[in-house]
Amino acid sequence: MLLRWILMASMLYSVGSLAQSQNVFNPQAITVAIDKTPVSFNPFADDSLMSLQFKHLLFDPLFRWDDHKNLQGRLVDHWERLDKNTVRFFLRENVHFHTGNLLTSKDVIWSFEQAKRQSDTSFLSKLEWVKATQQFSFDIRSSLTDIQLLDHLTNLFVLDSTFYQSHANLLDTSPSIILPPVKTLPISGTGPYLIQQYNPILGIVVVANPHYWDSEPEIKFFRFMRINKPQSRLFALLADDVQVSYGVPNETAADLEENTVKNLVKVPSSDVIFLTINDKLSPILENEKARKAIHLAINQQGMLKYILKDNGQVHPSVMSLADNTLMGGKDNSSKEIMPEYDLDKAKALISTMDIPKTMSLLVKLDDLGNTKKVAEALTKMLKRIGITVVVQEIDSDDIWRNTNLYYDLTVSTWETRLMSRDNMFENLFLDSDLADYLQDKFKQQGLSNNFKSQAGYFKSLQQNNWVIPLFYQDKIWAQNDKFNLQEIFSSNGIPYWSLFKIKKQLEISSKKEK
């Protein structure tokens, strides 16, 4: 049945956009199916315009996270703290941009200025100043801790100031989808790849940078093919039109692994689905027992099993992926009690109070359709304790911001690129779908919006069942079983394609080392 379904869908798929693209891209490339093609090549653009995998493909940051929660210096060779507020950074001294221009501290300072002008980030406002000290060194003065500062610097990509000062429009103008394929797209970073061909509808081909400072990548060409729907990406993989695919649907992952020679790679991420409870419409929800009853009625492990097919995790702490190592701290989240599911307890609590028989739920739809399924599951679970849930689905950020405080329940997702615990909390409070809700809670409690108190305050919201992290979602990739795909991801789920290798090449390299 599975194979018949796959065959039929593959036939439909084969007459689509892929067939039209065969003459557009380099046939020698490793082909990767992706959901979105960059529509900007400014590394300070929002991730929705240029995802992190492409930022790391074409540019280099000052630091990056490896796959074991360790910070790696990239353009920074080493650093030292001069005093309580000042850190000095020393650049690698033989790094060149794609144009051949030498990387210096002048480019770093200019990139900070561009980031401040073009990015919407609170991090840059916390820096007192950034100054060049020598050709290859610069100082940053701020009140941030080491882990906070270095974590933020993983997102500071350095631009060729000489090139971009003469081509300023390249940072401000997005490529148009109505233009023909671009064969020479001028950019100048220090990254491992250069753009060879680009079409915002079909995808992008990149070629290895032969002068890359960290040695030329083994894969000379990548073709990133834009295929919107997860099922279509899966069919392309099964038809061997692509060698790697992003975003395999959860419901087909197990069958894919059992019935084909394709290999799944499940990448843990900070992508969490939240349930919030609000008492504006139903004052009874201010009662902690009412919120407790709702939480007891929710089978989080069951949702993980049947919605994500166990491709994720339920965790008592929303910061389970956060890093605390540079502060010498210990992660005590493993000692926290896992969420309890007890339908009888929930019914007993409900019977003691006059809780509304109908509640409203606002769900922010996600690309994979998981929040919709979560809302459907919550509707069935709460029905068992006598609560009818009326669901409103939206996919608009503006509508969400204007209405999310006026529903009894909300379901939304949050994912952050940051790894420091303090930075993650700040991102959650400032730049997530929960931001309005959390700040409203601050006001209700008469608390000042002091980010040093966020961790403790958020923990109390969890303990008192105002905010419930339902589960984390793994990112599921699939590949032909001849690559090292599982080894190229950072600890926060970013693929570093310059690390991608064919297993035969790995075996040859291993023999040479011996």
Confirm whether 138 is domain-assigned: yes
User: How many other C-beta atoms lie within 10 A of the C-beta of residue 121?
Assistant: 17
Question: Are 147 and 110 part of one and the same domain?
Answer: yes
Confirm whether 176 is domain-assigned: no
pLDDT attached to residue 422: 85
Query: Rounded to an integer, what distance in angstroms lies between the CA atom of residue 149 and that of residue 126?
Result: 10
H or E element, residue 54: helix 52-58
In this structure, are residues 292 and 449 in contact, taking their beta carbons and an 8 Å threshold?
Answer: no
Query: Rounded to an integer, what distance in angstroms lies between the CA atom of residue 194 and that of residue 192?
Result: 7
Confirm whether 175 is domain-assigned: no
Confirm whether 495 is domain-assigned: yes
Confirm whether 143 is domain-assigned: yes
Confirm whether 174 is domain-assigned: no
Residue at a domain's end among 139, 165, 191: 165
Q: Does position 7 have pLDDT exceeding 60, yes or no?
A: no
Global pTM?
A: 0.88
Place of tokens 């960290």: 214
Across the beta sheet with 86-91, the strand order is 76-81, 86-91, 137-142, 127-134
Question: Are 254 and 333 part of one and the same domain?
Answer: no
Dihedral sign for Cα atoms in the order 381, 387, 393, 396: negative
Question: Are 286 and 149 part of one and the same domain?
Answer: no
Residue at a domain's end among 132, 165, 198: 165
Q: How many domains does the chain have?
A: 3
Question: Are 304 and 342 part of one and the same domain?
Answer: yes
Residue numbers of the domain that contains 283:
272-473
Give the tens place of pLDDT for each residue, 405-426: 999 999 999 999 899 988 888 8
Ranges of H-type helices in 135-249:
146-153, 161-166, 169-172, 230-238
* Confidence band, pLDDT 50/70/90 cuts, at residue 493: very high
Question: Are 244 and 291 part of one and the same domain?
Answer: no
Question: Are 343 and 358 part of one and the same domain?
Answer: yes
Q: How many CA atoms lie within 13 A of 271 on its CB side?
A: 17
Question: Are 314 and 450 part of one and the same domain?
Answer: yes
CATH of residue 131: 3.90.76.10
Can you read off the two tokens belonging to residue 132? Answer: 């060049």
Query: Rounded to an integer, what distance in angstroms lies between the CA atom of residue 375 and that of residue 372?
Result: 5
Question: From the centroid of its chain, how far is CA 476?
Answer: 13
User: How many other C-beta atoms lie within 10 A of the C-beta of residue 328?
Assistant: 7
Question: Are 15 and 107 part of one and the same domain?
Answer: no
Question: Are 232 and 142 part of one and the same domain?
Answer: no
391 burial level (CB within 10 Å; 0-12, 13-18, 19+): middle
Residues forming beta bridges with residue 477, ordered by sequence position: 246, 265
Tell me how long the chain is: 514
* Confidence band, pLDDT 50/70/90 cuts, at residue 478: very high
Question: Are 398 and 279 part of one and the same domain?
Answer: yes
Give the tens place of pLDDT for each residue, 14-68: 334 443 444 445 667 899 999 999 988 999 988 888 999 999 999 999 999 999 9
Question: Are 81 and 188 part of one and the same domain?
Answer: no
CATH of residue 413: 3.10.105.10
Q: DSSP readout, 162-174?
A: HHHHH-THHHH-P
pLDDT attached to residue 430: 85
446 burial level (CB within 10 Å; 0-12, 13-18, 19+): exposed
CATH of residue 38: 3.40.190.10
Residue at a domain's end among 138, 165, 192: 165
Question: Are 109 and 45 part of one and the same domain?
Answer: no
Q: DSSP readout, 151-162?
A: HHHTT-BPP-HH
